[in-house]
Structure 1
Amino acid sequence: MTSPRDLRIAIVGAGVGGLACARGLQAHGIPAAVFEREVSRDARWQGGMLDLHVPTGQAALRAVGLFERFAALARAQGQELRGLDPFTATLVHHERPTDSRDESYAPEIDRGQLRGLLLDSLSSGTVRWGHGVDGADPLDGGARLRFADGTTADFDLVIGADGAWSRVRPAVSDAIPRYTGSTIVEAFLDDVDVRHPDLARWVGPGTLAARADGKMISAQRNSGAHIRLYAAFDAPADWHVTAGLDLGDTEAVCDYLRGVFTGWDARFLDLFRGNDSGFVNRPLHVLPAGHTWDHVPGITLLGDAAHLMPPFGIGANLALIDGSDLATAIATHSDLDRAVAAYEEVMLPRSAAAAQACAELMDNLSANFTGDVDSVRRDLNDRMRRARPGPVGRVSSEMTAP
């Protein structure tokens, strides 16, 4: 293989998975360029809290030498989950936060904080902001990237880490995400301890949630006195267009949600009335469970580009471990193509196991929020460990972050 330091590796997408891969490669002395369509790291809000799991997200950060930095930012208290009866708002399920550091330990971190941590660990100029990619084409011994500005560039390896609507995926697979029939309507509250103190006390330090009849409302405390609000229900993907609603009209959207959540305790909808954001509609799409492809030399995928699933707290964890595993495979194999094939031999069964777990979780969720979420997490972690055999290889000790 070409000397690792001379490899031309392109990572498409500066999400947490792509950045974890870039960090892992650079920690092994292997350069990589990350191409990101957004114009800067602050171009948009990066999302709510992530709970990182021991065998996936936490293992990935250990592998790339960033676990201690993560631990300094993570919020153990964010693990608290209180499930309420949707019609009476009485407590029916309570998971208290733990700092036991056992297999169930999954502290929360803002996605933006995690992304910032990864970005700050990379060499200057690694991320090429404002470089949108339109597609990738396999070449004899590599791949060609087609950029949005009409230019092209050739690489030894192109890694599609560009999410649900990946522009790289068509080079290896014809799979297209399908709409699940469910959507999540999102809003947020800021400076909650001062501006919304009663709601802040009600939500607490973690997550407050209620579920019935396939519908859910939840509120999640983030860092910086910030609360994210979510209402999930079945509807056409463009329900607001059909209803003639402006998602920036809080009162009109709340009136609509009142009809969707008929009979629910009024306090749940009161969460949304004073929001500081208007609403965002997020239709849930998935790739086929067990999505796979025939190995294509010069191109591979990670994260949602490879295995888009429902939002059960698995996606970011898988993206992180995908990124660190791929970096380790490249660093520990003498042949680049064999390294990528070895990574895929681990990643594809792991993602298939996770997709199956998600499907079973959707089938088994009871009408009310009474499930033992901690046992669900343990089951998912166990599946991830069993689905992670050894062909990728691991470094013998944790890297030291520079």
Structure 2
Amino acid sequence: MEASENTHLLQHKEIAIVGGGPGGLTLARLLQLKGAHVKVYERDISKAARVQGAIVDLHFESGLKVMEAAGLMDAFKANYMPGADQFRLVDKEGNIFIEDKSNGVGGGFGDEHFRPEIDRGALRNMLIDALLPDTVIWDSQLVSMAEAGNGWKLSFKNGTIATADIVIGADGYRSKIRPYVTDIKALYSGATIIQGEIDNPETACPEMYALVNNANLIAMDIGKTIAAQPRGDGGLTFYASSLYPENWVETSGIDFNDKEEVAAHLIKYYEGWSPLFVSLFKVCPRFVPRPLNYFPLDQHWEARPNLTLIGDAAHLMPPSGEGVNTAMLDALDLSECLTGDEFDNIQSAIGAYEQKMRARAKMLAQEALQGIEEFSAPTEESMKRLAAQFNPGE
């Protein structure tokens, strides 16, 4: 990898990125291209430690723009999943209500409406492979951090310690770095999803596998939905979503580590739905409950001289298809502020990045919050509106 030396603010600085998701890895790649010294500390014991989840689509003005800046567009084209950007909406009986193939058929690279899908694991591996050897330090779950001179000392669960001049939190919605930046807490959106992973859907639930058919599928009925997406390894990720009280995961009495208990709840909650969907619950080996939280839209903090956040650690919002794209755009903006010649010191560079990041996140979070109730608990009226968007003549 050829590196530039245009890093006057970062010369002789050691940078620690905590979190090896798409945002953190993208930032490491962009900084290394400018000659910066970077380590990524990731809690997973290896890159094969766990399934990374379903597919994610990259957008023209964000994720794909960043791929170009990172010199990784050819690698992305070699790894994306053609046709997986199709959308299919079905009712609770599994009848296809809307099928939109416009992205998969009418678009292509260079078209601003084209949103190609890639498996999250493939995206992560592609980014890791683009880094210098030993950039990612695995099995590094951060426990605490303390100021040390003009930098930081990081302590990890495995007993190791690292030091850095600059720390960037890319460690998601449960960020261990965020409390060192701000004490602003997340708020509950009102919706919770129960995520399931099925590794062999073609044999475990063949009818559901056929219905998904390599597309983004959403099944809707009044008050609840089920979304399902393919994984690049042939697996299937699904999300059962509805409105639940705050702290419902803790007060429900369900042991979410007991797949039988979770399946029993879902089978009862989705009573009257097609056996197609019940099959998902019965064969799923693991469930994860995810209350959909968000950070206040007007959040603000004073920039630190050697510490900042990107992605969900900075601006958690309900799922809207923008999360990975926004984290990657954060990485691009931060790398440009830190390695350009516009700022006299790191604190002012971080401050400029954070101002831009928060303004963008506020706008996207407003849109996500407006749509979360309609997605998680549709009404008859909201389903009609959705149908009209895709079938305006009807």
Q: TM-score scaled to structure 2, two decimals?
A: 0.85
- Whether the 8 Å CA contact 2:8–2:339 is kept in 1: the answer is no
Deviation track 1:169-203 (CA, whole Å, cap 9, x = no partner) reads: 11221022234343222223333345543332211
Q: How big is the alpha-carbon RMSD for the aligned residues of Structure 1 and Structure 2?
A: 2.8
- The answer for the alignment partner of 1:75 in structure 2 is 81
- The answer for the alignment partner of 2:91 in structure 1 is 85
**Could you tell me the percent identity over the aligned residues?**
34
- The answer for the alignment partner of 2:51 in structure 1 is 45
2 CA distance for matches of 1:198 and 1:265?
11
- The answer for the alignment partner of 2:349 in structure 1 is 339
Once the two structures are overlaid, the 10-residue window that deviates more, 31-40 or 175-184, is 175-184
- Whether the 8 Å CA contact 1:185–1:231 is kept in 2: the answer is yes
Closer, same or farther in 2 for the Cα pair 1:370/1:121, shift >3 Å? farther
Which one-letter code corresponds to 1:62 in the other structure? Answer: E
Q: Please report how far the alpha carbon of residue 374 of structure 1 lies from its aligned counterpart in structure 2 after TM superposition.
A: 12
2 CA distance for matches of 1:183 and 1:216?
11
**Equivalences for residues 1-400 of structure 1 within 5 A:** 4-86=10-92, 88-96=93-101, 97-98=104-105, 100-101=107-108, 102-137=111-146, 141-148=150-157, 153-194=162-203, 196-236=205-245, 237=247, 239=249, 242-245=252-255, 247-250=257-260, 252-275=261-284, 277-333=285-341, 335-362=345-372, 365=375, 366-367=378-379, 369=383, 372=386
Once the two structures are overlaid, the 10-residue window that deviates more, 183-192 or 120-129, is 183-192
Closer, same or farther in 2 for the Cα pair 1:154/1:226, shift >3 Å? closer
Structure 2: runs of 5 or more not aligned: 1-6
Deviation track 1:199-240 (CA, whole Å, cap 9, x = no partner) reads: 322111212212233311122122232221221123354548
- Whether the 8 Å CA contact 2:188–2:291 is kept in 1: the answer is yes
Which one-letter code corresponds to 2:96 in the other structure? Answer: L
Deviation track 1:64-88 (CA, whole Å, cap 9, x = no partner) reads: 11122112211131111111122x4
Closer, same or farther in 2 for the Cα pair 1:300/1:90, shift >3 Å? same
Q: Please report how far the alpha carbon of residue 323 of structure 1 lies from its aligned counterpart in structure 2 after TM superposition.
A: 1.2
Deviation track 1:245-294 (CA, whole Å, cap 9, x = no partner) reads: 564444x433322321233333322333233x232222322222243311
1 CA distance for matches of 2:212 and 2:240?
15
2 CA distance for matches of 1:27 and 1:193?
42
1 CA distance for matches of 2:26 and 2:389?
28
2 CA distance for matches of 1:352 and 1:33?
30
Closer, same or farther in 2 for the Cα pair 1:127/1:347, shift >3 Å? same
2 CA distance for matches of 1:158 and 1:353?
26
- The answer for the alignment partner of 1:383 in structure 2 is none
2 CA distance for matches of 1:119 and 1:206?
27
- Whether the 8 Å CA contact 1:304–1:319 is kept in 2: the answer is yes
2 CA distance for matches of 1:192 and 1:89?
17
- Whether the 8 Å CA contact 1:76–1:107 is kept in 2: the answer is yes
- Whether the 8 Å CA contact 2:208–2:277 is kept in 1: the answer is no
Once the two structures are overlaid, the 10-residue window that deviates more, 176-185 or 59-68, is 176-185
2 CA distance for matches of 1:375 and 1:69?
34
2 CA distance for matches of 1:289 and 1:117?
33
- The answer for the alignment partner of 1:398 in structure 2 is none
- Whether the 8 Å CA contact 1:16–1:316 is kept in 2: the answer is yes
Closer, same or farther in 2 for the Cα pair 1:43/1:371, shift >3 Å? farther
SS at match of 2:62: helix
1 CA distance for matches of 2:9 and 2:372?
46
- Whether the 8 Å CA contact 1:76–1:106 is kept in 2: the answer is no
Closer, same or farther in 2 for the Cα pair 1:42/1:60, shift >3 Å? same
Q: Please report how far the alpha carbon of residue 241 of structure 1 lies from its aligned counterpart in structure 2 after TM superposition.
A: 6.9
2 CA distance for matches of 1:308 and 1:114?
21
2 CA distance for matches of 1:76 and 1:343?
34
